[in-house]
Amino acid sequence: MSADKDLVSVQQARDLVEAAHRVQGELARFDQAKIDRICEAMARAALREAARLGAMAVEETGFGIADDKREKNRFAAEDVWNYFRGLRTVGVVSESKDVVEIASPRGVVAGIIPSTNPTSTAIFKILIAVKSRNAIVLSPHPSAARCINESARVMREAGAKEGLPAEAIGCMTSATIEGTETLMKSKQTAVILATGGIGLVRAAYSSGKPAFGVGPGNVPSFIERTADVPKAVQDILTGTCFDNGTICASEQAVICDAPIEKAVREQFKAQGGHFISSSEADQLAGIVATPQRSLNPSIVGRSVEVIAKMAGFSVPPGTRCIIADVGGVGRDYPLSMEKLSPILAFYVVDGIQQGTERSQEVLHYGGMGHTAGLHTRSREVAVRVGSELPASRITVNTPTTHGAIGFSTALPPSMTLGCGSWGGNVTSDNVSPLHLMDIKRVAFETRPVKSSRPAVTAREISQPAQPTHSPAPSRQPVVSASGGKIDREEIAAIVDRFLAGRRPEELEPSSPLAPPPRPIEVEAGSMYSGPSSGARDSNRTRPGNGERPGGQDPTSVRTGTTVSNGRSEVDFVSEDDVRRAIQKGEKIYINAKTIITPAARDIGEPAEVFAKA
């Protein structure tokens, strides 16, 4: 029977992700107005059904309090949507003179939904996925599959009325480990939003796909000696008792500064906290932890009465939270772990340093990177303690449950809280639509890059050669290819030899004996038409251009007096020589003694005409 369930789950995952992928292209073409209309309709529908969905979640899972579930659903549907309503997720999302940012959807999102916060997490993930133009397929925890599917149905139908393809929101009805892994590893899945146990989050990260996973939250709350004690206690009880402690950001341990210990204990008793004896603490530890020192799921999200009865003791009427003095942190102290229920470990420290160190210990025991709480009247203390704690969110003077998710703080509202590298997560952010978009950046040059060679335009290269009749003497010094100075008498002798050897067809264009200049031939693969296939060999035979078979075109460059590797090296290069070489697509082979006129060098070097034989 188990194998049959796995096969059904695997096939369902394949079908849903394929359907979502088919409509992803359509969804990606929606404009901002249409996306926002769809999200508005889905948010309103979820808000209308918040109470019913909350009651369904408690009925199906047995976790939490129905009215608190309703409030979490309202938060996901209303507060989250209101916060991101004006966020641009289509086309150009940011623009300056130098950089233009353009948003692209990632693709199909695999959303893994837990049993502790099933309906609110489903509402949240559907909203942020569609807002960023992504289709989404949900894999529900098996113990909450019915209420999660109902949440998806409510939002799917509302979105469809505004033009959302129905296949853009999928939800598995039969979710097994094998089916969930199939969904995460599908080649058509673009990104994973994983909320659940550490094993599932690790599976998401090992799937080979980009994944936003969240880790456990063993949250310490340090009451520093300057704190407003009544409010601090009130905030801690509000947080840890909300929905029976099922939010991972709920307080798990109170760390009390010694000078205010008595006042803190009195306030807890006055506000519904019940301190148990050491023997009762041992009994409680026996049902909180399994023999393997993992959390017993039977106590998650249960009321204090149910938990006390399971442990074998009773609590006074009106008790909101069970509090136990604990001697340390770690495997030998089961009550020091994350309990996800209205149970608090209680520690006493002396001073800020000890309070910080104890908070660090609690975080290291299953809460790395998640959340920590601090109650103090000193902003300086808050920053000092916060800078030393390995937590992504340090909430100050507020319930950690509500502060971490952005309900009572200015943090982005979210039901998926990253734990950063401390918790093995890819982000320390409160996950939002921003994490489900790829941003392309069109960047314009702001600082020109210096080059050793000036840019040469096509017009400069194709400019006809200037007449060679007696020009005005140049004042520029003549240098050799190696940069050394040449004796002027030697220059004169070389020029005389050069002029004496000119052929009739090499006369200046104004002579009636000279042939008309040939136009530049732009060939495929040349520097003018695209990527070059390699440097041209000036000795290569090109029939039809007047070359002598097996030799060099006599009109290209002056023949030199030395030969290297079968290639003639020239003694002197003029501007006309360079222009002819460029027209023919040839190289001019030079050596250390070759004389190059300044005009020839200015044209030839950018065009890469010169080569060493």
- Is there a single domain that holds both residue 389 and residue 513? no
CATH of residue 166: 3.40.605.10
| 553 — pLDDT class (breaks 50, 70, 90) | very low
Q: What's the rounded mean pLDDT across residues 157-182?
A: 95
Residue-averaged pLDDT of the chain:
85
| 520 — pLDDT class (breaks 50, 70, 90) | very low
Q: What contacts 48, CB < 8 A, 6 or more positions away?
A: none
Q: Which pLDDT belongs to residue 458?
A: 61
- Is there a single domain that holds both residue 158 and residue 283? no
Q: Is the pLDDT of residue 550 over 90?
A: no
How distant, in Å, are the alpha carbons of 158, 240, 272, 406, 423 from that of 399? 34, 8, 16, 11, 22
Residue 161: how many other CB atoms lie within 10 Å: 12
Pairing outcome for strands 343-349 and 369-375: unpaired
Q: Is residue 193 part of a domain?
A: yes
- Is there a single domain that holds both residue 137 and residue 61? yes
Residue 112: how many other CB atoms lie within 10 Å: 27
Any idea of the CA torsion for 41, 47, 50, 53, to the nearest 10 degrees? 0
- The first and second tokens of residue 481, run together, are 């290819």
289 - beta bridge partners? 295
- Is there a single domain that holds both residue 55 and residue 149? yes
- The first and second tokens of residue 36, run together, are 């926002």
The enclosing H or E element of 611 equals: strand 610-612
- Is there a single domain that holds both residue 259 and residue 402? yes
Q: Which pLDDT belongs to residue 610?
A: 86
| 192 — pLDDT class (breaks 50, 70, 90) | very high
- Is there a single domain that holds both residue 149 and residue 225? no
Indicate the number of domains in the chain: 3
Higher local confidence (pLDDT), 332 or 490: 332
Q: What's the rounded mean pLDDT across residues 43-48?
A: 98
Q: Which regions of 297-456 does DSSP assign to beta strands (E)?
A: 321-325, 343-349, 369-375, 391-396, 437-443
Higher local confidence (pLDDT), 263 or 613: 263
Q: Is residue 449 part of a domain?
A: no
Number of helical (H) and strand (E) elements in the chain, helices listed first:
20, 22
Query: 223 near 262, Cβ under 8 Å?
Result: no
Q: Is residue 299 part of a domain?
A: yes
Any idea of the CA torsion for 373, 379, 381, 382, to the nearest 10 degrees? 30
Of 55, 46, 426, 67, the C-alpha closest to 241 is 67
| 155 — pLDDT class (breaks 50, 70, 90) | very high
Q: Which pLDDT belongs to residue 341?
A: 96
Q: Is residue 426 part of a domain?
A: no
Q: Which pLDDT belongs to residue 498?
A: 61
- Catalytic residue numbers, as ranges: 248
Residue-wise pLDDT for 382-391, tens only, equals 999 999 999 9
CATH of residue 322: 3.40.309.10
User: What sign has the CA pseudo-torsion 537, 538, 542, 545?
Assistant: positive
- Is there a single domain that holds both residue 229 and residue 99? no
Q: Which regions of 89-204 does DSSP assign to beta strands (E)?
A: 91-95, 99-105, 108-113, 136-140, 169-171, 189-194
Q: Is residue 431 part of a domain?
A: no
Q: Is the pLDDT of residue 503 over 80?
A: no
Q: Is residue 430 part of a domain?
A: no
Q: What's the rounded mean pLDDT across residues 488-505?
A: 59
Q: Is residue 250 part of a domain?
A: yes
pTM here is 0.74
Q: Is the pLDDT of residue 506 over 70?
A: no
% of the chain exceeding 90 in pLDDT: 66
% of the chain exceeding 70 in pLDDT: 81
- Is there a single domain that holds both residue 338 and residue 478? no
Q: Which domain holds residue 518?
A: 458-612
Q: What's the rounded mean pLDDT across residues 318-329?
A: 97
Q: Which of 401-415, 508-522, 572-586 has the lowest mean pLDDT?
A: 508-522
Q: Which pLDDT belongs to residue 592?
A: 81
Residue-wise pLDDT for 328-370, tens only, equals 999 999 999 999 999 999 999 999 999 999 999 999 999 999 9
Q: Is the pLDDT of residue 523 over 50?
A: no
Query: 137 near 72, Cβ under 8 Å?
Result: no
Q: Is the pLDDT of residue 171 over 60?
A: yes
Q: What contacts 500, CB < 8 A, 6 or more positions away?
A: none
From first CA to last CA, the distance across the chain in angstroms is 80
- Is there a single domain that holds both residue 151 and residue 94? yes
Q: Which of 145-159, 329-343, 428-442, 447-461 has the lowest mean pLDDT?
A: 447-461
Q: Is residue 405 part of a domain?
A: yes
The angle subtended at Cα 163 by Cα 160 and Cα 169, nearest 5°, is: 45
- Is there a single domain that holds both residue 193 and residue 247? no
- Is there a single domain that holds both residue 407 and residue 265? yes
Q: Is the pLDDT of residue 213 over 80?
A: no
Of 602, 497, 613, the C-alpha closest to 564 is 613
Q: Which pLDDT belongs to residue 460?
A: 61
Q: Is the pLDDT of residue 516 over 70?
A: no
Q: Which pLDDT belongs to residue 602?
A: 82
- Tokens 């509302």 identify what position? 158
- Is there a single domain that holds both residue 190 and residue 284? no
Question: Amino acid identity, residue 142?
Answer: P
The enclosing H or E element of 81 equals: helix 80-84
